[in-house]
Amino acid sequence: MAEIYADRENLKEKLENLNMEIRRELFSETFIKYLHDEYRDTDRREATALQQLDDHFHTYWAALPFGNSEKYEEKYKELERAMGAVKNLRKFEQLSVVTPADDQTEKRDGSKHNRCKICGERTPLFINNGKNLQHNLKPGERLCAVCYQKRCFEKKITDAFPSTAAVSLAYWINQTKTLCADQYEAYKKIWGDTADAAYSEQYLIRYNLRENRKNSSEEDRKRFELAQNRLNELEKALSDKLVSCEMEAEIKYRYYAIMAFDGDDMGKWISGQYFKKDEILKAQSELSQALGEYADWVKREIRKDQDFSGEKIGSIVYAGGEDLLALVPLKNLFLVMELLRSKFKEMVSDKVAGYTMDGRELTFSMGVVLAHYKTPLYYVLRMVRDMEKAAKQYRKEKNAVAMCLLKRSGEVLQAQFPWEAAAGEKSYITSYLNNILKDFRTNQESLNFIRKLHSEFEPVTIRKDEQVIEEFLIESEVNRLLQKSVQSKSITPEVKQNLFDNLCAFLKAVGSGNRQFVNFIFTLYICEFMRRSQNED
C-alpha cells in the first residue's frame, strides 16, 4: 500500500502503528483458527508457536520527502529503489527452543536434531512419532508452527476447491443432478455418507473404476464393480430422460481450461507514467479502487455454483484486480474469457480513461491452457504461465491471448491472437470463436475441413522466405470448402454462411501473413477439439 502524508511529524510512529494493526489482523481469530488446538499442550509450546508465526511475517516500509517542484514519476522510482534496498536487508530473530528428548530424531552419526522437515529452519512443534499423534501429519513428520499452519490452510482450501475432474465434468454433472438426482445421489453413496468418504468425481469416468479395481482389496473391488454397474444404470437413465425431455446431451469432457491474466505494463501505470502529470495521485487512487472492485466482482460472480445456462461457471484460484488464475469448463471458456475482458474495460479501463494521456487504454494479456484432468497440475500451471508470457510477447502493444492444447497423446497446439476485433468493430475475438465453436458442434466434418485448409496453405507457411498468404486467398478457399460441405449436406446453407462470416471476421482480426495463418489454423484445431467428446482415458 502507499500513503502520502501532509506533514513529516511523527511519521515513524504512524508507520509503526500501521505495522501493529497489520500484525493484529494477522493474529486474529480468523487467522489462528487454521492451527489445530493440540499445540496448546503447554504454555511454553503455545508461546513458541505464536513466536514462530510472529517472526515469519515482516512489514517493510520506506519514506521519502516529496516537494512541490519534484516530479512524481522520478520520486516514485526512487521510493521503489529504497523499498527494494530495505527488503534486501532481511531481519531475523534467533529462536532456540528445545522440545522433549523423545521428540528428537537421530541423525546417521548418532546426534540429535530439532528442525522442521519442510523448512529446515525452525524447531518442530507438531510431531507424529506414534506417541503424540496430530492431524494433517504423516507418520514421522515434524513441522514447525508456520509449516503446520500452511498445511492446515492448504488442506482447508483444497477440500473446498473442486478437482480438475469436477471442473471438466461440470456441465454433465449438473445435467445429471438435474434430471437424475436420486440415481446420482445413490451412486455417490456407494463410497459412504461421511465427510471422509473416498468419493471423487473421477469415478464418474469408467476408466478410473476399471483401473482402481485392479490393485484394490477384495472389499474395494466389490465396491468398484458395483460402481461400474450403477454408473451404467445412471447413464442409461440420463439418456432416457434426455429423449423424453427432447434435450441435447452434455459432452462428458475429460479436459478443462486453466487461465491466467496479468495487467500490461502495470509498473508504468502504477508509477504514473501514462497519466496526466497534474492528476497522477487522483488517477492512482481511482485505479486502485477500480482494481479492488473488479477483483471483488470476479470472486463474487465467477463461481462453480452459478446458473449453468449462463457464462459465469468457473472456479477462481485467486483474483487480485490486474491478475487472475481460474479453472473453467470447456463449454463456456470463450464466454468467461470475453466476460472477464469486457468487465475489465468497463470497471477499470474506462474508470481511469479520463486521466490517461493520448487515449491509452489499460489492458491485460491472458494465457489459456486446455489440459486433460489427469495431466499433472504443476505442469499445467507452468504452461499457463508460459502462455501468459507468450501473449505479452505476441506484439508490441500486448493486449493479447495465447492458447495451448495439451493432448494426452503428447501433441501440443499453440496459438496467439489479439483481444480486439478488426478496426471499426467493438466486439472481442472471443465472440467469433464462441460462434465458430457452436457451428463446429453441428458439423461432423469440421476436422476434415480444417485439415484440407491447412494442407493447401502449409507449403507456403514452411518456406524460409517471407511470402505472405493474402487474406482474400484464404477467404476464397474457406468459402469453397464450406460450399462442398453444403453440397454433401454436412451443414445447412444458413450454418455455412454464419460460419463463413465468423471465420472471415476472426481471420481479419488475426491479420495476414504466414505466422498469422498458423495462429488462425491452430485456433480452429483447438475449437474443433473442444466441440467433440474425448476418449474414456
Measured between alpha carbons, how far is 345 from 343 in angstroms, rounded to an integer?
A: 5
CA separation for the pair 250, 318 (Å, rounded): 28
pLDDT the model gives residue 338 = 94
Residue 246 sits at the vertex; the CA angle it makes with 240 and 249, to the nearest 5 degrees, is 65
Q: What is the DSSP string of 220-257?
A: HHHHHHHHHHHHHHHHHHHHHHHHHHT-PPPP--SEEE
Give me the pLDDT at residue 184, please. 92
Cell readout for 126 is: 507438531
Q: Answer for the pair 283, 364: CB distance below 8 angstroms, yes or no.
A: no
How many residues are recorded in the chain?
537
Which pLDDT belongs to residue 534?
66
Q: How many CB atoms sit inside 10 A of residue 19's CB?
A: 14
What pairing do the DSSP bridges indicate for beta strands 315-319 and 364-372? unpaired
Q: Is the distance from CB of 133 to CB of 126 less than 8 angstroms?
A: no
Q: Cell numbers of 168, please?
A: 471438466
Full-model pTM: 0.81
- β-bridge partners, 325: 260, 318
- For residue 514, what pLDDT is reported? 82
What confidence score (pLDDT) does residue 12 get? Answer: 78
Instruction: Using alpha carbons, select from 401, 444, 457, 282 the residue that is nearest to residue 352.
Output: 282
H helices of 302-372, in order, are 333-344, 350-352
Provide block-wise average pLDDT over 10 residues at a time, the chain (537 residues).
Answer: 66 80 68 51 65 78 80 82 81 53 44 71 77 62 81 64 90 92 90 61 88 77 88 93 90 94 91 86 90 93 80 88 92 94 94 89 96 93 96 93 94 94 76 93 86 88 66 90 87 91 92 86 94 66
**Which pLDDT score is estimated for 106?**
47
| Residue 98, pLDDT score | 46
User: What pLDDT score does 133 carry?
Assistant: 47
* Distance in angstroms (rounded) separating the CA atoms of residues 61 and 324: 26
